[in-house]
Amino acid sequence: MIYGLIGEHLGHSFSAEIHARLGEEPYELRELAPEEVPLFLREGEFRGINVTIPYKQAVIPCLDEISETARAIGAVNTVVRRNGKLYGDNTDAAGLTRLLQRTGADLRGRKVLILGTGGTSLTAMYAARALGAAQTVRVSRSGRDGAVTYEQAAAEHRDARILINTTPCGMYPRTEECPVDLERFPELEAVADVVYNPLRTNLVLEARKRGIPAEGGLYMLTAQAVRAAELFRNTEYPPDTAEEIYRELLREKENIVLTGMPGSGKSTLAAELHRLTGKPVADTDKLIEEKAGRTIPEIFREDGEERFRDMESSVIAEVSARGGQIIATGGGAVLREKNVTALRRNGKLVLLERAAETLVPTEDRPLADTREKMDRLWREREPVYRAAADCTVAMEGTPEETAREVESRWQA
């Protein structure tokens, strides 16, 4: 290994993809058991490594020197070999600082709640104080090690203005979780979540729904990786490097989710977008039929609409957990709020708008197989579609023209 990442569970790390954009040398992921860490550090031939959960504090006794930043935080996430000695630093601090700045938050004089008590929480305390926070309060389930419990936080710190989540709550595969009820913190001005898989946790989505600026952890991961690469190679990258790589990753990882009425052209446009972007297509109606071994009209006839909606929610939960796709949804997919939430974690929802009179009823659509049903469906669903959409694209041009418009609006 020349450069790489060590930790306990690394199966969903994006680090190798980021570092591949920063240098030609390979960047490897190495999962280690706790007892393997000291030997790896002593005898490894790496030039530089990143360190993630749960070894950010455990590596410190194995190092010859650590930076003032790492010493102040009490955690190391970057180790560089220099003249045979191991030098430890903490680039998470730079990454989290830039993430907080990205939310637009002004921490000066503010009370900051930090969820979690692990190594990243120490980084959050350091970054918050460096940005001028008046008070930092760590929160944990147990309330040990100087932290308060979640109940104490809700009772005694309702006036917190900034919230930083450093726990794995909401991380894949447990994406349904949310660490706190934001209703209990009515003064919040910004939320930052270090979790980057999914791109947007339920915490981030709930904050945005309430009009609170909120960002997930992908930008922090990217910014800290750029700083680590600078230490690895003893160089400096242009100031906009992190932003450029972040946007590249987001385009690669984020789903394009097509919503709209039955017959609006979602499947046709998905195929065109596949040709344009190279992203694979996941058609939720087709996936439902494959899993059930029956057509959608048969499911409606034999099991009823409610059972179909349950199957649809199950497929959406599974599909939306993956990134980098074009997802063509069924006409009623956004009727359930939990489906919208699941789709939004890793995607942007694009409403394909077509004039009601151009929507053609067909026999394979049980709820829209007559003109009367189609018109009624449109009147009922239009406000739901618009509320769920991140952007709207009119189906007026050719499929190719519309696909380019969708891609442009999705990337905006």
Residues 324-338: tens digit of each pLDDT: 999 999 999 999 999
What's residue 12's pLDDT? 83
Domain with CATH 3.40.50.300 in the chain: 254-411
The string of pLDDT tens digits covering residues 4-31 is 999 998 988 899 999 999 987 899 999 9
Query: Worst-scoring range by mean pLDDT, 117-121, 166-170, 183-187, 314-318?
Result: 117-121
* Beta pairing class for 162-165 and 214-215: unpaired
Residue 260: which pLDDT band, with cuts at 50, 70 and 90?
Answer: very high
Long-range contacts for 148-153 (Cβ within 8 Å, ≥24 apart)? 150/179, 150/180, 153/113, 153/180
Residue 258: which pLDDT band, with cuts at 50, 70 and 90?
Answer: very high
| pLDDT at 106 exceeding the cut of 90 | yes
> What CATH number does the domain located at 3-90 have?
3.40.50.10860
| pLDDT at 363 exceeding the cut of 80 | no
The string of pLDDT tens digits covering residues 45-76 is 899 999 998 899 999 999 999 999 999 999 99
**Cis peptide leading into 54, omega within 30 of 0?**
yes
Distance CA 193, CA 395 (A): 36
Domain with CATH 3.40.50.10860 in the chain: 3-90
What's residue 263's pLDDT? 84
Region for residue 200 given its phi and psi (left: phi exceeds 0; alpha: psi -120 to 50; beta: otherwise) = beta
Tell me the β-bridge partners of 25: none
Tell me the β-bridge partners of 214: 191
Average pLDDT over residues 352-361: 81
Q: Is 56 a catalytic residue?
A: yes
Query: 């209990």: which residue's tokens?
Result: 184
The DSSP string of 122-189 is HHHHHHHHHTT-SEEEEE-SS--TT-B-HHHHHHH-TT--EEEE-S-TT-TT-TT--SS-GGG-TT--
Domain with CATH 3.40.50.720 in the chain: 94-216
Q: At what angle do helices 296-303 and 284-292 cross, to 10 degrees?
A: 60
| pLDDT at 359 exceeding the cut of 80 | no
| pLDDT at 367 exceeding the cut of 80 | no
Average pLDDT over residues 153-162: 97
What's residue 132's pLDDT? 97
Residue 206: which pLDDT band, with cuts at 50, 70 and 90?
Answer: very high
| pLDDT at 361 exceeding the cut of 80 | no
Average pLDDT over residues 259-266: 90
As a whole number of angstroms, the longest Cα–Cα distance in the chain is: 79
Residue 128: which pLDDT band, with cuts at 50, 70 and 90?
Answer: very high
What's residue 262's pLDDT? 86
| pLDDT at 358 exceeding the cut of 90 | no
The string of pLDDT tens digits covering residues 218-236 is 999 999 999 999 999 999 9
Residue 366: which pLDDT band, with cuts at 50, 70 and 90?
Answer: confident
Average pLDDT over residues 405-409: 93
What's residue 203's pLDDT? 98
Average pLDDT over residues 161-183: 96
Give domain 254-411's CATH architecture.
Answer: 3-Layer(aba) Sandwich (3.40)
Residue in 56, 111, 253, 348 annotated catalytic: 56
The DSSP string of 174-186 is -TT--SS-GGG-T
Residue 290: which pLDDT band, with cuts at 50, 70 and 90?
Answer: very high
Whether 160 and 134 have beta carbons less than 8 Å apart is answered as no
Tell me the β-bridge partners of 193: 165
Q: Which CATH number fits domain 94-216: 3.40.50.720, 3.10.20.600, 3.30.420.240, 2.70.170.10?
A: 3.40.50.720
| pLDDT at 123 exceeding the cut of 90 | yes
Average pLDDT, the chain: 94
Average pLDDT over residues 298-327: 96
Average pLDDT over residues 102-106: 95
